Structure 1
């Protein structure tokens, strides 16, 4: 009798094990079936669909994209252009940049743009973080542990890829492509109008930071808009500039631009808030062709704009055409 009882228990255990295994196989088969029905989506454990994003030769798989955190000013400009409302966004000095306030309305402050708060982002249940390629490795690693982090490029020549990536992420890819196509058409038309104005003229942009004058390579900051998009000739002096480079007022006078664009933000000149005013009183400044002839344009767009990004480029194009066509 005891042998029979043992035999029955063994048989019952085996039966339960087979049943459980069969149920497990069914779950896997069902999941596999879902996968075969989606070209760009895969099934994840909670039943939601994942989105695969390819950006600058890297692939990111995201379980969801409902809660987007804007952790870079580059991504913030793209969000403003596409009308994307993030769950949270970085600030500068505890505030959103003034020209981005309306676009970021409703977003939770997730901390300073140089080091966002991982704790705050975690509380917001972030699905994806749009960071910056300028992040220090420690900051990038910390944010990557909270949610998938895409380092949005700060390189000006990647602005189109940045905008398309956010468009794909938010279902606004068609709008992103429309904006890019229109920008191309508008800049081609602008080149024709500006060609006789800028012909044989030296065009330059400088940025005042910490009270000093800075110039940039031809493919950095607003320079791609000036030279590649709007057709101004790259000054020879910029050919040797490899990164942001300080220049003296005397050096600027030697360059002697005919058209001069100046970006000055009080936030970048906290210790010398009168830097621009002092510069304009200097007789060396007054000797520059652009200054003498009234071809100096200060803060033609918001001085906190990033330059090589979508909002910056669209705003700069409009501003240049409005000012130079007067």
Structure 2
């Protein structure tokens, strides 16, 4: 059995728009009273929009149906809990003044935007005291946060809960573009990505026709599948044209699946994501899976169509960065037949 371990040498041209330094410090304090919890959203992908101005130094931004008052340009952004926002910042070259860490440090994939960034704690435990000292213009939190965490952050500055639902990826990118004055850069990145999708779909959709394609994640040593609109599934099903398997249709959230049940699915193509940080107690889980005879019986394994970490295992899936990286990985794989 041969697994495809494809290193991420780069993503599509949309990510080469330039990593820009943050602008001058904002001297005017923002109005902090307009934040609210956006909650879980589905299907909304309309861009954030400026709906009006309350003063020369502020503006109102609408994001997923809620309105927030923010500085005319937010130079000091803190990202707490939302790795999706970190990936958007990477695309737009935005350097947050403060951001979450993973295992006490910034992941290497964010090196270009975190050289001047202050760590504010792990994504599940942001330090309110540290954030307060940074005096941020805006705080980008996560819809995964409990209400009490959002309330604490709102007392510091305007807080916008960024959606973790994959179908909101365009709204998320446009929100950061609106906050930082990089709307045009976000627009160009989206246009380039959509063009890339169209070209690649023409090559991949015929390959995936009548085939079962599944993305899985190994966490705490176990296999998990996801709903059709979560993780990398929108890239596989909506953009590259694969049919959604019944098991994926029935998944309501991240769902544990036994190896026996997965073998019954018997997929023809499998994308596996495995991060060491998510398997600290079972570091050999991937190797054990490779050597399991049940796993070896699956069509994808037998036909050399298993792709491990086609993108960085920390990539969230539902962002422009993740989606562009996924396309790049597919291009470098053996999925597209050579003539």
In 1, the alpha carbon distance for the partners of 2:113 and 2:321 equals 11
Deviation of residue 121 (structure 1)? 0.9
Task: Give the ranges of 4+ consecutive aligned residues of structure 1 lying more than 6 Å apart after TM superposition.
Answer: none
Q: Secondary structure at the match of 2:126?
A: coil
Q: Secondary structure at the match of 1:187?
A: helix
Q: Does residue 55 of structure 2 align to residue 55 of structure 1?
A: no
In terms of fraction of residues, the more helix-rich structure is 1
In 2, the alpha carbon distance for the partners of 1:140 and 1:276 equals 36
In 2, the alpha carbon distance for the partners of 1:196 and 1:157 equals 24
Going from structure 1 to structure 2, the CA distance change for 1:196 and 1:63 (only over 3 Å counts) comes to closer
Output one character per residue of 1:240-264: Cα deviation in whole Å (capped at 9) or x when no partner. Answer: 1111111111111110111110000
How does the TM-score come out when normalised to structure 2? 0.81
Q: Does residue 161 of structure 2 align to residue 151 of structure 1?
A: yes
Output one character per residue of 1:168-189: Cα deviation in whole Å (capped at 9) or x when no partner. Answer: 1101111111111221121111
What is the aligned partner in structure 1 of residue 266 from structure 2? Answer: 256
Deviation of residue 200 (structure 1)? 1.4
Q: Secondary structure at the match of 1:205?
A: strand
Q: Does residue 109 of structure 2 align to residue 127 of structure 1?
A: no
Q: Secondary structure at the match of 2:152?
A: helix
Indicate conservation of the 8 Å contact 1:211/1:269, yes or no: yes
Deviation of residue 190 (structure 1)? 1.1
Q: Secondary structure at the match of 2:125?
A: coil
Deviation of residue 115 (structure 1)? 2.1
In 1, the alpha carbon distance for the partners of 2:185 and 2:276 equals 34
Deviation of residue 39 (structure 1)? 8.3
| Aligned-residue CA RMSD (Å) | 1.5
**Alignment partner for residue 81 of structure 1, among 76, 85, 91?**
91
What is the aligned partner in structure 1 of residue 53 from structure 2? Answer: 41
What is the aligned partner in structure 2 of residue 191 from structure 1? Answer: 201
Indicate conservation of the 8 Å contact 1:115/1:139, yes or no: no
Equivalent residue pairs, number: 285
Going from structure 1 to structure 2, the CA distance change for 1:186 and 1:39 (only over 3 Å counts) comes to closer
In 2, the alpha carbon distance for the partners of 1:68 and 1:195 equals 40
Deviation of residue 53 (structure 1)? 1.0
In 2, the alpha carbon distance for the partners of 1:321 and 1:63 equals 41
**Alignment partner for residue 277 of structure 1, among 247, 267, 287?**
287
How does the TM-score come out when normalised to structure 1? 0.84
Indicate conservation of the 8 Å contact 1:75/1:130, yes or no: yes
Deviation of residue 63 (structure 1)? 3.7
What is the aligned partner in structure 1 of residue 320 from structure 2? Answer: 310
**Alignment partner for residue 78 of structure 2, among 56, 62, 69?**
69
In 2, the alpha carbon distance for the partners of 1:271 and 1:141 equals 34
In 1, the alpha carbon distance for the partners of 2:51 and 2:252 equals 43
Deviation of residue 223 (structure 1)? 0.3
